[in-house]
Structure 1
Amino acid sequence: MRLFGKAEKKNGWLAIGLTADGVQAAAIERRTGGLPKVLLAASYPGRADEAGASLARLGKDLHANRYQCTTLLGAGGYQLLMVEAPNVPEAEMKTALGWRVKDMIDFPLEQATIDMALLPTANGSNQARQAFAVAARNSVLMPHQRLFADSKIALTAIDIGEMAQRNISALLEPEGRGLALLAFDADGGLLTVSYQSELYLARRIDITLNQLLDPDHERLHQLYDRITLELQRSLDHFERQFSFVTVAKLVLSPVGEGDLCTYLTSNLYLPVEQLDLAKVLDLSAAPELQEPAQQAGFLRTLGAALRERAST
């Protein structure tokens, strides 16, 4: 099974996310001439040790067998690395990439599943082609797959948060320009930059959503300072590495009742907007996603459900 590979659509994708407080699922239908429509967004609360029972109920309630199913690995279950793509035929690329990253991962190559996404090169550029390599421990993947198999849910693919967030970002991109998207959850912050629907940057920020809900004003603004500095460094590095991409703006996924969006607007050179999924998705069949907090909570599961026929 590929981690975030290609697959033919049948009846759309059902994305299933395992969270700290339960299981959630989303299905999206892409339509010609209209916004992608969210067919369902459902949550099944429960403890982590109850995930199997929750999955079995979800599979039955949502008729999971009618969809191609994907799930998301937790942030600690894999490593995502950007490397120079080996100069080999494409058929040999994955093997060659594995050898290139073997000294960069913290477990033996023979215990890993490797997948990749090649980045396009700029027209007329002599710059070496870059690639994202994702390496996951087989000891993490196998129990994950077994959990779904035991729940009678057949997985077609396994996604990662960076690629799922890229799928949301791709909907928001202005024509001919890149877009930065920043979101926070229980695992921390994730900054991505996409351009022409490709992921070009992914940076983790070691600040969780729970920390950003702290009512203490002083502690909160210390966190805002750290986020701002990380964004400035990451975006400056991105501009040096991919000078042919102009980032139009930063879009921030909703974060509680704080004023992070206002703070970033005052301290970054980029325009900053708060994410509103209603602008890029038809939410008429999922009215609960009208609430900003619910949009934030479902962000990457929705992104995983946006997989396309020829998408990595």
Structure 2
Amino acid sequence: MSFKRLWSSGPDGWTALDCQGGIYGVSVKSPRTFDERAVVVKHAAIPGVSLDQASLAQMDKLMHGHGFPLVHVLAHKEYQMFLVDKAAVRPEEMESSLRWSLTPLLDYPAADANLSWMEVPQTPTVNANRTAQMYVIAARREVMNQRADLFERAHMPVNALDIRETGQRNISAAIKAQDAAVCLIYAEPTGVQLTVTYKGELFLERYIRETLFAKEDDASEAAEVKKFDRVALEVQRSIDFVHRNAASMPFNGIFVAPTQSDIGLLEKLQARLLNEVRALDLSHIFEWPEGSDLHKPEVQALYFNALGAALRLKE
């Protein structure tokens, strides 16, 4: 498993597959600088299918000819993310130290986990006595090996297994924020994904398990309002955490990514939050194929995690 950092000195582009709710694939030519847009050269979707060899083979035919290395985006339920203090150990000892730290947190042996980690970026003024922190991602090695084997059998070898938070980080880092922190919110059917990014690195992540799309038949208007109230409260708590723990870090406000249907998320958060809330225009970050349905925000939302995973700067 790899985070595949935002900067890449290798290929000219990446192909990413997000297999939650179907299979959504994009091939993206990497920009050379922050001033350039990433070019989406191909995209395809097979909504609603299960992840199996037959569906992957079908997707391979649809995406054939991209020529870019492949990143597979894991679903939220396939990994766990922990914030831990960085141990004062040598780099070669870090993995062993993290396995020991995660032992009481995992419901399976830590020795059976694939681990990846990244440091939380330092703020402009840092308390010298404050312990550095890291985000650690753990996934069952057996499940990851089975997933890699599945792609191999479908003749789509995977170069990296990635997570949704780092894909969202890549998109957030491409927002012209003038070296300020950016909070990006993306709502999907199973919950709301929040990231705060600073200087291209992930500073804070939250996943708010509130379903905003499916309205229950017997749900009152007041019950629906409470859903958005709860999401807004969790977003505000996250922003307050940032201000409290990194008061000197410049903050560029909150951006809301497109949603798969019009649920009024932008307007509802604007009415509930203290900070400025703006719509994220992905056309400022990506150049869409001519005549493509990716010009529609609701379609962009379906490919959001794949687009993020495929977005890399050419270093």
TM over 0.5: yes
Q: Secondary structure at the match of 1:133?
A: strand
Mapped to 2, the partners of 1:36 and 1:269 lie a distance apart of: 32
CA distance in 1 between counterparts of 2:235 and 2:192 reads: 11
Match of residue 39, structure 1, among 9, 21, 41: 41
Shift of 1:48: 1.0
Residues of 2 paired with 1:208 and 1:279: CA distance?
28
8 Å contact 2:99–2:111 — kept in the other structure? no
Q: Identify which of 187, 193, 197 aligns with 1:194.
A: 197
Indicate the percent of aligned positions where both proteins have the same amino acid: 28
Runs of 4+ in structure 1 off by over 6 angstroms are 212-215
Distance in 1 between residues matched to 2:25 and 2:208, nearest whole Å: 25
Relative to total residues, which structure has the larger helix share, 1 or 2? Answer: 1
Tell me if the contact between 2:229 and 2:272 (Cα under 8 Å) persists in the aligned partners: no
Q: Residues 162 and 147 from structure 1, CA distance in 2 versus in 1: closer, same or farther, beyond 3 angstroms?
A: same
Counterpart CA distance in 2 for 1:31 and 1:286 is 21
The answer (yes or no) to whether the contact 1:265–1:271 under 8 Å persists in 2 is: yes
Equivalent residue, structure 2, for 1:238: 242
The change in CA–CA distance for 1:107 and 1:56 in structure 2 (over 3 A counts) is same
Aligned AA (2:224): L
Taking structure 1 as reference, are residues 158 and 292 closer, same or farther at Cα in structure 2, changes over 3 Å only? same
Say yes or no: does 1:160 pair with 2:159: no
Tell me, in whole angstroms, the C-alpha distance in 2 between the residues paired with 1:194 and 1:217: 34
Q: What is the RMSD of the two structures over their aligned residues, measured on CA atoms?
A: 2.3
Does the CA-based 8 Å contact 1:24-1:43 persist in structure 2?
yes
Q: Report if the CA contact (8 A) 2:121-2:203 is conserved.
A: no
| Bigger relative CO (Cα 8 Å, ≥ 6 apart) | 2
How far apart are the structure 2 equivalents of 1:222 and 1:248?
27
2:275 maps to 270
The answer to whether the 8 A contact 2:192-2:207 is kept is: yes
* TM-score of the two chains, using structure 2 as the length reference: 0.89
Aligned to 2:60: 59
Q: Would the aligned equivalents of 2:15 and 2:66 in 1 still touch at CA under 8 Å?
A: no
Question: Mean alpha-carbon deviation: is it higher for 8-17 or for 268-277?
Answer: 8-17
Is the Cα–Cα contact under 8 Å of residues 29 and 36 in structure 1 kept in the other structure? Answer: yes
Distance 1:279 1:10, change over 3 A: closer
> Could you say which residue in structure 2 is the equivalent of 1:25?
25
Q: CA shift at 1:107, angstroms?
A: 1.9
Please give the residue correspondences for 1:73-88 in structure 2 after superposition, counting only pairs within 5 Å.
73-88=74-89
Which piece of structure 1 moves more, 96-105 or 263-272? 96-105
* Paired letter, 1:296: A
After TM superposition, give the deviation of residue 93 of structure 1 in Å.
2.1
Amino acid across the alignment from 1:249: G
CA distance in 2, matches of 1:41, 1:10: 18
Whether 2:12 is the aligned partner of 1:4: answer no
CA distance in 1, matches of 2:94, 2:20: 33
Q: Quote how far apart the aligned CAs of 1:212 are.
A: 6.5
2:214 to 207, 211, 215: 211
1:169 aligns with 2:172: yes
- Cα drift, residue 80 of structure 1: 0.7
Aligned length: 307
Q: Which moved more, 1:185-194 or 1:207-216?
A: 207-216
Deviation at 1:202, TM superposition (A): 0.7
Q: Which amino acid aligns with 2:308?
A: G
Gaps of 5+ in 2: none
CA distance in 2, matches of 1:149, 1:173: 38
**Alpha carbons of 1:104 and 1:12: their partners in 2 closer, same or farther (altered >3 Å)?**
same
Tell me if the contact between 1:65 and 1:154 (Cα under 8 Å) persists in the aligned partners: no
**What corresponds to 1:138 in structure 2?**
141
TM-score between both structures, scaled by the size of structure 1? 0.90
| Inter-partner Cα distance in structure 1 for 2:207 and 2:257 | 15
Which residue is 1:252 aligned to?
256
Aligned to 1:98: 99
Indicate conservation of the 8 Å contact 1:213/1:258, yes or no.
Answer: no
Matched, 1:178 2:181: yes
Contact kept, 8 Å, 2:125 with 2:248, in 1: the verdict is no
Secondary structure (helix, strand or coil) at the match of 1:4 reads coil
Q: 1:180 & 1:121 partners in 2: Cα distance?
A: 17
- Work out whether residues 26 and 38 of structure 1, in 8 Å CA contact, stay in contact via their aligned partners in 2: yes
